[in-house]
Structure 1
Amino acid sequence: MLRVLIVDDNIDKLADIRSIFSDIDSVQDDNVDIAYDVMSAKVLLSENLYDVAIIDLNLPTRPHETPKPNNGFVLINLIRHSKVVKKPTYVVALTEYAHLIDEYTSKFYNDMVFLLQYVDNDDNWRKQILSYVDYAYEAKIKPTVVGEYNFDLGIITALHDPEFRYLLKLDANWQKRKHVHDSTVYYEGEFVAGQKKLKVVAAAAPQMGMPASTALSLKVIEHYRPRYLAMVGIAAGVKGKCELGDVLITDISWDYGSGKIRRTPSSVTFEPDPKPLTLSPDLKEKFSAVIREKCYVEDIVAGTEEPVAKRPFNVVLGPVASGAAVLEDPELIKEIMLHNRKLIGIEMEIYGLFYAATNCTLPRPLPFAIKSVCDFGDSKKNDKYQKYASYVSSQFLYRFAISEL
Structure 2
Amino acid sequence: MKVLIVDDSSDKIRKILNVLIDSGLDEDRDIDVAYCARDAALLLESNDYGLMIIDLYLPIRLSEQPKMDGGAFLLKEIERRESLHRPEHILGLTAHDDAKKEAEPEFNKGLWTIAKISSSSNEWKEVIVEKVRYLIARNASQSQDAAPACDVLFVCALRNPELTQLKLALSSEWEEIALPNDATVYFRSVIEKANGDKFSVIACSSPSMGMTASATLATKASLKFRPKVLAMTGMCAGREKEIELGECLVASKTWDYGSGKFFGQAGNGNARFLASPYQLAVDPVVQTATELVMADRKLLDEIHDRFVGNSPDRRLALKFAPMASGAAVQADSQFFKSIVEHQDRKVVGIDMEAFGICWAARETFEPRPIFLVCKGVSDFANEEKADSIQEYCSFTSACIALEIIKRLPLS
TM tier relative to shorter chain: 0.5 to 0.7
Contact 2:293–2:400 (CA<8 Å) still a contact in 1? no
| Aligned equivalent of 2:246 | 245
- Of residues 348, 355, 376, the one that matches 1:372 is 376
Identity of aligned residues (%): 32
| Aligned equivalent of 2:185 | 185
Shift of 1:345: 0.3
Q: Using the alignment, how far apart are the partners of 1:388 and 1:236 within structure 2? A: 14
1:345 matched to 2:344: no
Q: Using the alignment, how far apart are the partners of 1:208 and 1:295 within structure 2? A: 34
| Aligned equivalent of 2:306 | 303
Contact 2:335–2:381 (CA<8 Å) still a contact in 1? no
| Aligned equivalent of 1:153 | 152
In structure 2, do the counterparts of structure 1 residues 266 and 175 end up closer, same or farther at CA, with 3 Å as the change threshold?
closer
Q: Using the alignment, how far apart are the partners of 1:164 and 1:179 within structure 2? A: 19
Alignment of 1:173-212 (within 5 A): 173-194=173-194, 195-212=196-213
Shift of 1:295: 5.8
Shift of 1:217: 0.6
Give secondary structure in 1 for the equivalent of 2:401.
helix
| Aligned equivalent of 2:332 | 329
Give secondary structure in 2 for the equivalent of 1:302.
helix
Alignment of 1:152-301 (within 5 A): 152-169=151-168, 170-171=170-171, 173-194=173-194, 195-264=196-265, 267-294=270-297, 296-301=299-304
Give secondary structure in 2 for the equivalent of 1:296.
helix
Contact 1:260–1:270 (CA<8 Å) still a contact in 2? yes
Contact 1:248–1:370 (CA<8 Å) still a contact in 2? yes
Of 312-321 and 163-172, the range deviating more from structure 2:
163-172
1:394 matched to 2:398: yes
Shift of 1:172: 5.4
Q: Using the alignment, how far apart are the partners of 2:298 and 2:212 within structure 1? A: 33
Give secondary structure in 2 for the equivalent of 1:343.
coil
Q: Using the alignment, how far apart are the partners of 2:407 and 2:297 within structure 1? A: 14
Contact 2:286–2:404 (CA<8 Å) still a contact in 1? no
Q: TM-score, normalised by structure 1?
A: 0.61
Give secondary structure in 2 for the equivalent of 1:330.
coil
Contact 1:172–1:191 (CA<8 Å) still a contact in 2? no
5+ unaligned residues in a row in structure 1: which ranges? 1-148
Of 227-236 and 298-307, the range deviating more from structure 2:
298-307
Shift of 1:266: 5.4
2:402 is matched by which residue type in structure 1? Answer: Y
Q: Using the alignment, how far apart are the partners of 1:291 and 1:229 within structure 2? A: 20
Deviations 1:62-120 (A, max 9, x none): xxxxxxxxxxxxxxxxxxxxxxxxxxxxxxxxxxxxxxxxxxxxxxxxxxxxxxxxxxx
Contact 1:198–1:402 (CA<8 Å) still a contact in 2? no
Alignment of 1:55-204 (within 5 A): 150-169=149-168, 170-171=170-171, 173-194=173-194, 195-204=196-205
Of 348-357 and 194-203, the range deviating more from structure 2:
194-203
Q: TM-score, normalised by structure 2?
A: 0.60
Q: How many residues align?
A: 257
Q: Using the alignment, how far apart are the partners of 2:358 and 2:228 within structure 1? A: 14
